Structure 1
Amino acid sequence: MDKHLFFEQLHLLIQDEPNIIANLANISAFLNQNFDDINWVGFYLVEKDNPKKELVLGPFQGKVACIRIPFGQGVCGNAALRKETIRVLDVHQFVGHIACDAESLSEIVIPIIVDDEVIGVLDIDSPSYNRFTLNDQMILEDVVKIIEKDVFCKA
């Protein structure tokens, strides 16, 4: 993957669109096209004015998914609670993993944080063990920085 071209294309994809859902839908499709060996990619978002600390399914590419995930549950809920990326090389070794798709064997979740508040997560699953590398993590964390700045802060 040519990282310069990848990020240039990502910026062009969202630069003129103010709608958050449209941008996240296109970003999930873009990531699905640019990452090999994944079977689910998408977003879980925190609903405004919902007193529950939970993530709700947002735009994604893949099989039907879990709709609501409380903070602290599963990989997504733990990444949101801790405000840190969680890279799981074998989901069967992650205590409390939520199996939306039995074919998923590894996962990476990056929280989306604006003004020190988690507003969502980027979640990607793979049907292979050990799919996500430290390099993947760094690229995806940069994608999330773009989302935080250019999608949520301009809306």
Structure 2
Amino acid sequence: MTFEELKPKVIDILHHDYTLRDEKLLQVCHLLKDNIDYYDWVGFYFRNGDKEELLLGPYAGEPTDHTVIPFGKGICGQVAVSNKNFVVPDVTTQDNYIACSITVKSEVVVPLFVDGKNIGQIDIDSNVLDAFSELDERFLEFVNEQVAKLF
């Protein structure tokens, strides 16, 4: 399924009135993981109140031990500080990488803004080297813009 075909499906999931926010986010994670071949793990991390750390939110994929990530640590922690997308074509080249699985080869993290404030991010791991393009970034920015409307 193409990104353009997925966009209305993302909107549809997020606009169900009688579904809790975390359930909507979980459905989005599964939608992306199940329909984009190289998305092997899809999850959200959110800022933990005023603490400089991220907490794991809904996700689809293998369980992870990384349920709390300090700001600055790993790719997710760096995005929490930089407020910028981070595409990692080859995770083995990153000194500050937190390995979730030995099968992960590349990663993309896109921050989630609400009223101009970074409240979290979407994190995608791929078992394919150099899996992500600018098209993935634009699509994930779209997803986050839609998710931001829930907050």
Q: Percent identity?
A: 34
How far off is 1:47 after superposition?
Answer: 2.4
Alpha-carbon separation, structure 2, partners of 1:5 and 1:37: 17
Q: Over the residues paired in the alignment, what is the CA RMSD in angstroms? A: 1.4
Partner of 1:98: 98
Alpha-carbon separation, structure 2, partners of 1:4 and 1:99: 31
- Secondary structure, in 3 states, of the residue corresponding to 1:26? helix
Partner of 1:24: 25
| TM-superposition CA deviations, 1:9-48 (whole Å, max 9, x none) | 1111121236221111111111112211222111111123
Deviates more, 1:13-22 or 1:100-109: 13-22
Partner of 1:120: 120
Partner of 1:39: 40
- Structure 1: gaps of 5 or more residues: none
Partner of 2:146: 146
How far off is 1:130 after superposition?
Answer: 0.3
Alpha-carbon separation, structure 1, partners of 2:110 and 2:58: 15
Alpha-carbon separation, structure 2, partners of 1:61 and 1:119: 20
1:92–1:2 CA distance, 2 compared to 1 (3 A)? closer
Alpha-carbon separation, structure 1, partners of 2:91 and 2:2: 29
How far off is 1:112 after superposition?
Answer: 0.7
Aligned pair count reads: 149
Q: TM-score, normalised by structure 1?
A: 0.89
Alpha-carbon separation, structure 2, partners of 1:3 and 1:133: 12
Alpha-carbon separation, structure 1, partners of 2:94 and 2:9: 34
Partner of 1:53: 52
Output aligned runs, 1:57-68, within 5 Å.
57-65=56-64, 66-68=66-68
Q: TM-score, normalised by structure 2?
A: 0.92
1:14–1:99 CA distance, 2 compared to 1 (3 A)? same
| TM-superposition CA deviations, 1:99-123 (whole Å, max 9, x none) | 0111101000011111222211100
